[in-house]
Amino acid sequence: MKKLLFVTLFSIFSIASFAQNTSQSYIEQFKDNAISIMHETGIPASIIMAVAMHESGNGNSTIAKKLNNQFGIKGNTRTVYYKKKRKVRTSYKKYDSVLESFNDFARVLTQRKQFSHLGDKFTQHDYKGWAKGIQRSGYCSSKKWSSQVIGIIKRYGLHELDSIPEPKQLAQNTEK
């Protein structure tokens, strides 16, 4: 009886762990998008990845799964999705893809007045400055937010992404 219970529980936990993104799988899946956006906008890839990981729980949060919203960005209209057969109305934006969510985050940081000064103030290698600047500019209400984002960057070595050069194929395509 104990063996059967153990095997059943082990199977359930194994299936549950495969269904969720881990930090490493999330990084592998989206780091190239973050690097590409960094070269287009000057926002460090480490910031893009760490904020996405922090805000979406590595893509495992409900809004990340149901709305492709990796950053908790809100919109002007109500979005509807279903959670356990219940209709949920939310002000979070819905995106057609995760990449669209990443691009919108970059747009928010580069085009909204409250954040647009950060690109002039910090380089793509100053992830600490970006994290603190984003927090000071009102992106979040938590006083620990920037230290949590910086902690994610350090824990997973995401700052190394900030030094990766633009892929030659991408650079050649933009020159044409």
- Residue, of 145 and 4, whose pLDDT is higher: 145
- At 15 the pLDDT is 44
Residue 105 is assigned to a structural domain of this protein: yes
- Domain of 135? 22-171
Residue 4 is assigned to a structural domain of this protein: no
Determine contact, residues 12/124, Cβ cutoff 8 Å.
no
Query: How many domains are there within the chain?
Result: 1
- Interaxial angle between packed helices 45-56 and 98-111, expressed in degrees from 0 to 180 and rounded to the nearest 10: 120
Give tens-digit pLDDT for 106-153.
999 999 999 999 999 999 999 999 999 999 999 998 999 999 999 999
Give tens-digit pLDDT for 8-48.
444 444 444 445 789 999 999 999 999 999 999 999 999 99
Residue 146 is assigned to a structural domain of this protein: yes
Residue 111 is assigned to a structural domain of this protein: yes
CB-based burial of residue 141 (10 Å sphere; 0-12 exposed, 13-18 middle, 19+ buried)?
exposed
Q: CATH number of the domain at 85, please.
A: 1.10.530.10
- At 9 the pLDDT is 44
Residue 119 is assigned to a structural domain of this protein: yes
Q: What is the mean pLDDT of residues 57-74?
A: 96
Residue 5 is assigned to a structural domain of this protein: no
Which contacts of 22-28 are long-range, i.e. CB under 8 A and separated by 24 or more positions? 22/58, 23/53, 23/58, 23/152, 23/156, 24/156, 25/58, 26/52, 26/53, 26/58, 26/59, 27/53, 27/156, 27/158
Q: Quick one: residue 175, left, alpha or beta (phi over 0 = left, psi -120 to 50 = alpha)? A: alpha
Residue 10 is assigned to a structural domain of this protein: no
Residue 13 is assigned to a structural domain of this protein: no
Q: What is the pTM of this model?
A: 0.82
